[in-house]
């Protein structure tokens, strides 16, 4: 038995979990979902808030972060926090001015700030018959199958990453950048932002920016509030950190299956309605953003299953920055995106629907095999359950570091 365990241990260790490419080659879902330790993150842990804990303040020993907060503190609009971090607004809403002076999205989906100097939220995309293609809550398990699929389709997307997930799954975050996706901020601990005090709201965004920079080398210029919960106070803090606020018009409800009466049928109906609405001409004037998630196997697989339908219904599926012609998506100037015109010129092939041959009208470069590495993935084979159990033990050991 010991012998067998040692053999299995050797196999697990044979999987390279220290590089982006090594991690990207993992096809075993259980291994992929087993925590690993990444030295640059371990070394920086004491400069970050505890993972998954709401950020309430910026410690005095973070001199750079504090100076940044203090520089904006005096000008933050005087709007009191609302409700609780878990989204209980029952004590707040009854006394809130129904004219919605704070442009609080959660109240009536306000996207046009009342405070002067703030730009409108991005809730749709300007290009007609175009889907602003994006996913919230990553990176997490099931990442590789999803990103492999997007790579096969030569499809880029906007990924709204949670800072705590970036710290837990740094190589997955790196893959997003090296695959050419756009990275935006989705806060540190995924709580309701309008409930935070100013310093906490600042910290939720600031430390997510720092985490993404630490792990990927880039600094995003966009963010999406969890649950859409934003008002002019939070918009102001985000704008001072150089972040554009991105929302959505339609909700796939993919995150909500099993809650509030939402079923997989509800989600499929939402996907179907989106595709039908393109055909019905609803997006002939301007394109659309639907809320979808990089949350778990179900949400990602559902997008994969619906991708051919969406790619056929819409004229274009593009990252949100591309729909905006935002060619410099990050603070670092050495990384550029294509303009909308240039992106669509290079992405003309439609995927094949249900295995039938594609309707690609021009210059098909469709069937490129992308670098989804096969070699070392073979390290995990057979007796997956045992390997998984062992991997969990090793993971726990790694965590103890």
Ligand X SMILES: *[C@@H]1O[C@H](CO)[C@@H](O)[C@H](O)[C@H]1NC(C)=O
Which residues are the active-site residues? 136, 293
Q: Which lies closer to ligand X via its Cβ, residue 146 or residue 307? A: 146
Binder of residue 325, out of ligand X, Zn ion, none (CB less than 5 to 8 A by kind): ligand X
The binding site for ligand X (CB under 6 A) comprises 29, 33, 46-47, 59, 61, 70, 73-74, 126, 137, 140-142, 145-146, 165, 217, 250, 270, 273-274, 277, 282, 295-297, 300-301, 304, 324-325, 332, 334-335, 339-341
Residue 341's Cβ-count burial label (10 Å; 0-12, 13-18, 19+) is exposed
Structure tokens at 128: 């007609």
**Phi/psi of residue 347, each to 5°?**
-135, 65
**Residue 363: CB minimum distance to Zn ion, A:** 37
Q: Which stretch binds Zn ion (CB under 5 A): 3-11, 131-139, 366-374, 376-384?
A: 131-139
Neighbours of 397 (CB within 10 A): 10
C-alpha to C-alpha distance for 386 and 390, rounded to whole angstroms: 6
| Stretch touching Zn ion by CB under 5 A, among 134-142, 256-264, 276-284, 363-371 | 134-142
Nearer to ligand X, 116 or 334 (CB): 334
Residue 101 contact among Zn ion, ligand X, none, beta carbon within 5 to 8 Å by kind: none
Close Cβ partners of 349 (under 8 Å, ≥ 6 residues apart): 154, 358, 360, 363, 364, 365, 366
206-265 residues near Zn ion, rule: CB under 5 A = 226
Task: Give the whole-angstrom CA distance, residue 191 versus residue 215.
Answer: 22
User: Is 137 among the residues that bind Zn ion (CB under 5 A)?
Assistant: yes
136 binds, among ligand X, Zn ion, none (CB under 5 to 8 A by kind): Zn ion
Q: Cα(first)–Cα(last) distance of the chain, in Å?
A: 27
**b/e string for 11-42 if b means 16 or more Cβ within 10 A?**
bbeebbbeebeebbbbbbbbbbbbebebeebe
We find the least distance from the C-beta atom of residue 250 to Zn ion, in angstroms, to be 15
Min CB(216)–ligand X separation in Å: 8
Q: Select from Zn ion, ligand X, none the partner in contact with residue 322, using the beta carbon and a kind-dependent cut-off of 5 to 8 Å.
A: none
Kindly compute the dihedral angle of the four CA atoms of residues 226, 232, 235, 240, in this order, to the nearest 10 degrees.
-150
């Amino acid at each position: 038995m010991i012998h067998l365990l040692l053999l299995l241990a050797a196999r697990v260790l044979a999987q390279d979990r220290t590089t982006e490419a090594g991690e990207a080659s993992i096809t075993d879902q259980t291994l992929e979902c087993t925590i690993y330790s990444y030295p640059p993150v371990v070394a920086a842990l004491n400069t970050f808030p505890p993972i998954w804990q709401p950020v309430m303040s910026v410690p005095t020993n973070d001199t750079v972060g504090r100076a940044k907060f203090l520089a904006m503190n005096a000008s933050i609009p005087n709007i009191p926090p609302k409700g609780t971090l878990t989204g209980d607004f029952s004590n707040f809403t009854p006394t809130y001015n129904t004219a919605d002076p704070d442009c609080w999205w959660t109240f009536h989906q306000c996207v046009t700030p009342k405070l002067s100097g703030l730009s409108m939220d991005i809730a749709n995309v300007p290009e007609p018959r175009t889907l602003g293609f994006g996913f919230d809550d990553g990176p997490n398990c099931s990442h590789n199958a999803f990103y492999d699929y997007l790579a096969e389709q030569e499809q880029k997307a906007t990924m709204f990453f949670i800072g705590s997930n970036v710290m837990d799954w740094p190589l997955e975050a790196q893959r997003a950048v090296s695959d050419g996706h756009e990275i935006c901020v989705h806060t540190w601990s995924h709580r309701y932002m309008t409930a935070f005090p100013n310093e906490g709201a600042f910290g939720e965004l600031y430390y997510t920016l720092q985490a993404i920079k630490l792990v990927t080398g880039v600094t995003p210029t966009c963010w999406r509030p969890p649950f859409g919960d934003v008002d002019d106070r939070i918009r102001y803090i985000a704008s001072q950190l150089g972040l554009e606020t991105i929302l959505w018009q339609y909700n796939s409800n993919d995150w909500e299956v099993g809650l509030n009466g939402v079923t997989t049928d509800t989600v499929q109906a939402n996907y179907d309605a989106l595709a039908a609405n393109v055909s019905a001409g609803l997006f002939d004037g301007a394109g659309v953003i639907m809320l979808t998630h990089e949350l778990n196997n179900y949400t990602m697989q559902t997008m994969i299953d619906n991708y051919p339908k969406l790619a056929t219904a819409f004229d274009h599926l593009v990252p949100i920055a591309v729909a905006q012609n935002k060619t410099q998506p990050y603070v670092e100037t050495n990384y550029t995106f294509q303009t909308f015109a240039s992106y669509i010129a290079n992405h003309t092939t439609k995927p094949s629907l249900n295995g039938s041959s594609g309707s690609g009208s021009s210059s098909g470069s469709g069937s490129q095999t992308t670098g989804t590495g096969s070699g070392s993935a073979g390290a995990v084979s057979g007796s997956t359950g045992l390997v998984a159990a062992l991997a969990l033990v090793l993971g726990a050991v790694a965590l103890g570091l």
